[in-house]
Amino acid sequence: MRDVRVASVQMESAPGDKDANFRKVERLTGAAAERGASMVLFPECCLTGYWFLRRLTVPQLRDLAEPVPEGPSGTRLLDLALKHHVTVGAGLVEAAGGDVFHNTYVVAMPDGRLVRHRKLHAFEHPAIHAGTDSAPPSSSATTTTSWRTSASRRCAGPRSCSHRTRPAAAAPRTRISWA
């Protein structure tokens, strides 16, 4: 088994400015790849911003959110993963249809796969639903609790903030394990 270098990025997001946030993700992904990272992982909702969500109206949330993987952020993350030959993970608000939204973590891999994880304990806004509240939309993205990277043959899965403090509820659905 070979070692995997993971870049865990902490960044401050500009509330509601996906373009500015994505430029930061692009720059930091490039820097991490140059330093040998094979996985570059960003915070939940780093593309849309996080703390200001609770103050948005539903129409404002609708304007901010986007579908996954068909939206521009999914496409840009996949392009970034292919360009740098790394796995890239980042979070955003997903538009799931109508006035249903999810706090979603998207993982793009250098082999062209894209997976998503919808936060289980959603509390950011009344219109942001838990990942278990609706069936995944029919799309080419896989809704997952874990994924296997092609380069390392390792299995990993996301955990977002409240999953850390509610292990009994999160443990069956989210995990990080090594094969």
| Mean pLDDT per 10-residue segment, the chain (179 residues) | 88 97 98 97 96 96 95 97 98 94 95 92 90 50 46 50 48 35
In this predicted structure, what is the pLDDT of residue 163? 46
Q: What is the CATH number of the domain that holds 90?
A: 3.60.110.10
In this predicted structure, what is the pLDDT of residue 2? 76
Kindly state whether residue 46 falls inside one of the protein's structural domains.
yes
Kindly state whether residue 179 falls inside one of the protein's structural domains.
no
In this predicted structure, what is the pLDDT of residue 158? 53
Quote the domain boundaries for residue 11: 6-170
Kindly state whether residue 61 falls inside one of the protein's structural domains.
yes
Kindly state whether residue 1 falls inside one of the protein's structural domains.
no
DSSP 86: S
Give the containing element (helix H, strand E) for 74: helix 72-84
In this predicted structure, what is the pLDDT of residue 126? 92
H helical segments located in 97-175: 161-165, 167-170
In this predicted structure, what is the pLDDT of residue 121? 84
Q: How many domains does the chain contain in total?
A: 1
Kindly state whether residue 176 falls inside one of the protein's structural domains.
no
